[in-house]
Amino acid sequence: MAKRGLFAILAVIVLGSSATGWSNPTLDSLIERALTANPDIQALEYRHRAADYRAGAAGTLPDPQLTFSAMNLPKSSLSLGETPMSSYGIGVSQKIPWPGKLGAENDVAERETEIARLNVESSRDRIVRLVAEAYYDYAYWSLADGIINENLAITRALTEATETRYANGLGSAQDVLRVQTMASRLENRREEVQQMIRSALLRIGRLTDNPATADAQLAVELPSQRPPAFEPQERKINNPELLRAAAEISHRESRVDLARSSYWPDFHIGLEYKIRERIPMDPVDGEDFVSAMVGVSLPLWFFAKNDNQTRAAEQSVRAAESRERALRLDITQQIEDIDLQLERIGASLDRYDTAIVPQAQAAYDAAQVAYEVGKVDFNGLLAAQIDLFDIRLEELRLRRDYQHARVRLSELLGSIQER
C-alpha cells in the first residue's frame, strides 16, 4: 500500500509538471509519466474495462418476453362480446438454456477479460522499454555531443597553433588544411548529434504524451558501471505475451465447452392470461382463461451446425497451443541471445575501461608533448587525437548498447516495471 501511495504521489507530481514543463526529469519520472498518460496504454485499459463489463453481463438469462394479444375478434366489429372465442391476452415467456450453457458463456467472457488485462500489461512493458531506449539514446547523444564539443575546442586551438606555426614558417599549408577539415567535420557531426538528441526527445514526448519534453533538458545518466546480473529467481520468465498465449489456450478451451453445450436443447416456459366477456350460451359464463406452456428446442441440425462449430473450436485450441510453444521457444532464444550479447559487451567494456581508453589517452598525451618539442609531426598528433575521439565514442556506444540489451532482457523476462 505504501508503494502504491508513493507511485500515486509521483504520478501527481509528474502530471502536474506537464503544464509548466519538465524540470530535469529522470528516467524513473519519464516512465511514471508514460504509464499514466500514454494513449496506447489508456486505449487498452479502456478495452480491458469494456471486457470486464461484458463479463459481468455474460452468463445471465435471456430477457423474458412480454406479449399482448387480441384473439378471434370479428373483423366487422372487432368486438369482444359477440363470440365466446374472443379474448384479450397478456403473457410472459422465458427461455432457459440447458444447465451449463450460461456457465460456459461466463467462462468465455472471463477468459477474454484476462486476455485484455494481459494486453494492458504487455503494452505497459513495451512502453517502459521504449521510454528507456529513447532515454538511453538521448543520454548517449548528449554525452557524445559533449565529447564532440571538447574535441572541437581542442581542434580549434590546434588550428590556431598550426596557423601560427605556418605563418612563422615552422608548419606546412597541408597541416593547416587538414586541421581545418577536421574542425569542419566535427561541426557536421555536432549538427547530426543535436538532431539525434532532438529526435530522442520527440520520441519521449510521444511516449509520455507531453510535447513539452521536446524542449526539456533531461537528467543524463548512462552508467559506466554495469549493474549486477539478474539472480536466478529474477530470471523466471513472467512475460505477459507468454501469459497471454497461455490465457488464449484457456479461452479457446472454454469456447469448446460452449460449442459442446449447444448440442443440448433449451427450454421455453410461458404463462398467458386471457380476458373474456360474458356471452349468452357460454359454458363458463365469460370466465377468464389461464394458459401455460413448456417448450424445448430441437437441435436437429447438429451434424451441419453444432459438429462443425465444435470441431472448429477444437482446432482453435490446437492452434493456440502451437502458438504458445512457438512463442516460448522464440522468447527463450531471444533471452539466450541477449545473454550472449551482454557477455560480449561486458567483456568489451572491461577492455575499454582497463586498457583501450587509458592507452589511447596516454598515446594522445605523449603525442601532444612530442609535437610541442618537435619530435612528432603534425600527422601523428592528429591521428592520436582522432583515435582517442573515436575510442571514447565507441566506449559510450557500448554503454548505450548494454543498457538497451538489459532493458530488452527485462521486457522478455517480464515484470519490467519492477526491474
- What's the rounded mean pLDDT across residues 182-206? 93
pLDDT surpasses 60 at 20: no
Per-residue DSSP letters for 378-401?
Answer: HHHHHHHHHHHHHHHHHHHHHHHH
**Sole residue written with cell 512463442:** 327
Q: Could you tell me which of 189, 180, 178, 177 has the C-alpha nearest to residue 150? A: 189
pLDDT surpasses 50 at 1: no
* φ and ψ at residue 144, rounded to 5 degrees: -65, -35
Residues 254 and 352 in one domain: yes
Within-domain flag for 380: yes
Q: Which tens digits make up the pLDDT trace of 213-222?
A: 878 888 888 8
**Alpha carbon distance 412, 246 (integer Å):** 16
Within-domain flag for 84: yes
Within-domain flag for 1: no
Which has more confidence, 66 or 158? 66
**Sole residue written with cell 520520441:** 203
Residues 243 and 353 in one domain: yes
- The answer to whether the beta carbons of residues 274 and 241 sit under 8 Å apart is no
Secondary structure of residue 27 in the 3-state scheme: helix
- The answer to whether the beta carbons of residues 333 and 255 sit under 8 Å apart is no
Residues 279 and 409 in one domain: no
Residues 88 and 109 in one domain: no
- The answer to whether the beta carbons of residues 342 and 402 sit under 8 Å apart is yes
pLDDT surpasses 80 at 319: yes
Q: What per-residue confidence (pLDDT) applies to 17?
A: 40
- The answer to whether the beta carbons of residues 356 and 395 sit under 8 Å apart is yes
Residues 79 and 192 in one domain: no
Instruction: Provide, rounded to the nearest whole percent, the portion of the chain with pLDDT above 70.
Output: 90
Q: What per-residue confidence (pLDDT) applies to 268?
A: 94
**AA identity, residue 258:** L
Q: How many CB atoms are located within 10 Å of the residue 141 CB?
A: 24
CATH code of residue 118? 1.20.1600.10
Within-domain flag for 5: no
pLDDT surpasses 60 at 5: no
Instruction: Return the axis-axis angle of helices 240-261 and 306-351, rounded to nearest 10°.
Output: 170
- The answer to whether the beta carbons of residues 119 and 50 sit under 8 Å apart is no
Residues 333 and 385 in one domain: yes
Within-domain flag for 117: yes
Q: What per-residue confidence (pLDDT) applies to 161?
A: 76
Within-domain flag for 2: no
**Alpha carbon distance 364, 366 (integer Å):** 5
Range name among 163-172, 283-292, 351-360 with the lowest pLDDT average: 163-172
- What's the rounded mean pLDDT across residues 255-278? 91
Q: Could you tell me which of 266, 264, 258 has the C-alpha nearest to residue 95? A: 266
- The answer to whether the beta carbons of residues 73 and 216 sit under 8 Å apart is no
Within-domain flag for 409: yes
Q: Which tens digits make up the pLDDT trace of 274-311?
A: 988 888 777 887 888 899 999 998 888 777 788 899 99
Q: What per-residue confidence (pLDDT) applies to 9?
A: 33
pLDDT surpasses 70 at 176: yes
Q: pLDDT tier at 96 (50, 70, 90 boundaries)? A: very high
Q: pLDDT tier at 174 (50, 70, 90 boundaries)? A: confident
Residues 324 and 396 in one domain: yes
By CB atoms closer than 10 A (0-12, 13-18, 19+), residue 233 is exposed
Residues 226 and 345 in one domain: yes
Residues 158 and 240 in one domain: yes
- What's the rounded mean pLDDT across residues 94-115? 93
Q: Which domain holds residue 346?
A: 28-61+103-264+317-413
224-228, 281-285, 408-412: which is most confident: 408-412
- What's the rounded mean pLDDT across residues 35-40? 94
Q: What per-residue confidence (pLDDT) applies to 359?
A: 92
Looking at the structure of the chain, the number of domains it has is 2
Q: pLDDT tier at 382 (50, 70, 90 boundaries)? A: confident
Residues 337 and 390 in one domain: yes
Average predicted confidence (pLDDT) for the chain:
86
Residues 124 and 222 in one domain: yes
Which has more confidence, 25 or 349? 349
Q: What per-residue confidence (pLDDT) applies to 419?
A: 57
* φ and ψ at residue 60, rounded to 5 degrees: -95, 160
DSSP state of 292: E
pLDDT surpasses 60 at 13: no
Q: pLDDT tier at 120 (50, 70, 90 boundaries)? A: very high
**pTM score over 0.85:** no
Within-domain flag for 419: no
Residues 277 and 335 in one domain: no
pLDDT surpasses 80 at 235: no
- The answer to whether the beta carbons of residues 33 and 15 sit under 8 Å apart is yes
Q: Rounding to the nearest 10 degrees, give the CA dihedral for residues 20, 25, 27, 29.
A: -50
Q: pLDDT tier at 15 (50, 70, 90 boundaries)? A: very low
Q: What per-residue confidence (pLDDT) applies to 142?
A: 94
Q: Edge-to-edge strand order for the sheet containing 65-71?
A: 65-71, 87-96, 267-275, 289-296
